[in-house]
Amino acid sequence: MTLRRWTTAWAILACALGASGPAVAHPHVWVNMRSDVVFNDQGLITALNLMWTFDDNYAQMAIDGLDANGDGVYSPDELEPLTKENMASLKDYDYFTVMRFNGEKQALGEVTESGQIWSNDKLALHFQVPLKTPLDPTKGEFVAKVYDPDFFIAIDYVKDDPVSVIGNIPKSCKLVVKPVPTDAEVEETRAMLSTKGPDWKPENNEDFGAVFAQPVTIQCKA
């Protein structure tokens, strides 16, 4: 019964991950996100840490039946099956994470660090998305965007301390979190898109979802 209930709960997010097509107009799952740009000791960008806090409706359904010992607490071990399913599905979509360097999309490594926490009646998933090849930020601009291109899952940064840096960032570099587009800017973008033909693509071969995603950048002085 527990596994059956958990599978039903996961189906909501799995359906969201599996959906495709431009007809999708509104999200079914909401996520509040914060992230860290990770540097190694040599000052190279190696990964992006992500923390997703899910909306209450999805969270309550997702955890239903996972309290195996009935103590009213959802431990990391009890949440591990849900975490594994989350990560397995997210892998098929590159974890909704796009990292670019000088405009070029970068290959991602496999996520090996992940976990899920239930605290203060909130369900949060944390994981690290590594780059296959570390990047030297002094040689160009690094841009990271996290979003669902089909808009089934709304992923928005928290207002307070949304992004930070971990590790040895070069002294000539700084973290810049570009602002969320205003309603007027969104409408302007939508109006622009309505004038484009079916074969039109955004710059750098991005998809339509990227146009509305909030960018995180590392910018360095020459």
Q: Quote the domain boundaries for residue 22.
A: 2-180+209-220
In this prediction, residue 170 carries a pLDDT of: 97
Tell me the per-residue pLDDT of 108-130, one tens digit each, with 9 for 90 and over: 999 999 999 999 989 999 999 99
Q: Does residue 129 sit within a domain?
A: yes
* DSSP conformational letter for 111: -
In this prediction, residue 130 carries a pLDDT of: 98
Residues 6+ apart with CB under 8 A from 213: 145, 146, 147
Q: Does residue 202 sit within a domain?
A: no
pTM above 0.75, yes or no: yes
Best CA proximity match to 218, nearest among 162, 160, 159, 169: 169
Q: Does residue 10 sit within a domain?
A: yes
- Burial of 14 (C-beta count, 10 Å sphere; 0-12/13-18/19+): middle
Q: What is the mean pLDDT of residues 138-147?
A: 96
Q: Does residue 188 sit within a domain?
A: no
Percentage of the chain modeled with pLDDT above 70:
78
Query: CA 155 to CA 199: how far, in whole Å?
Result: 27
Q: What are phi and psi of 121, to 5 degrees?
A: 60, 30
Tell me the per-residue pLDDT of 191-211, one tens digit each, with 9 for 90 and over: 776 777 666 666 666 666 677
Total domain count, the chain: 1
Q: What is the mean pLDDT of residues 63-68?
A: 83
Residue bearing the bigger pLDDT, 127 or 6:
127
Query: CA 146 to CA 212: how far, in whole Å?
Result: 10
Please report where in the chains the tokens 């990047």 appear, as a residue.
135
Type of residue found at 131: L
Query: CA 206 to CA 151: how far, in whole Å?
Result: 15
Please report where in the chains the tokens 């991602």 appear, as a residue.
108
Q: Does residue 185 sit within a domain?
A: no
Best CA proximity match to 146, nearest among 111, 95, 185: 95
Highest mean pLDDT, choosing among 24-33, 35-44, 55-64: 35-44
Q: Does residue 199 sit within a domain?
A: no
- Give the pLDDT band (50/70/90) at residue 5: very low
- Burial of 190 (C-beta count, 10 Å sphere; 0-12/13-18/19+): exposed
Query: CA 85 to CA 146: how far, in whole Å?
Result: 19
Q: Does the CA dihedral 97-102-103-104 come out positive or negative? A: negative
